[in-house]
Amino acid sequence: MSADSVRMAVDSQRCIGGGQCEMLEPEVFLVDDDEAVSSVIGSGVLPRARADVVVHRCPGAAVSIVGPES
């Protein structure tokens, strides 16, 4: 990853299971079919520009950037 990579998180209390995050970044997000809640999978790291898109497209405002890749 590049220097502008960030780590993602999902607030399970706010998630409405809309699936926008998984649709946009299937390698980073997975919506549980039973609970209809998204979670971060794998490294949870995205380039900052892609992360901003996912954050802004989340209908429940549940996706956030928690910090730089470490």
Tens digits of residue pLDDT in 40-56: 999 999 999 999 999 99
Q: What is the CATH number of the domain that holds 22?
A: 3.30.70.20
Encoded tokens for 58 = 């989340």
Q: Please, are residues 37 and 31 in contact by the beta-carbon 8 Å criterion?
A: yes
Encoded tokens for 39 = 């979670």
Q: What's the whole-model pTM score?
A: 0.90
Which of the four pLDDT bands, split at 50, 70 and 90, describes residue 70? low
On the question of pLDDT at 38 being above 60, the answer is yes
Tens digits of residue pLDDT in 1-21: 567 999 999 999 999 999 999
Looking at residue 2, what is its pLDDT? 64
Q: How many domains, the chain?
A: 1
Domain residues for 29? 5-68
Q: What is the DSSP letter of 41?
A: -
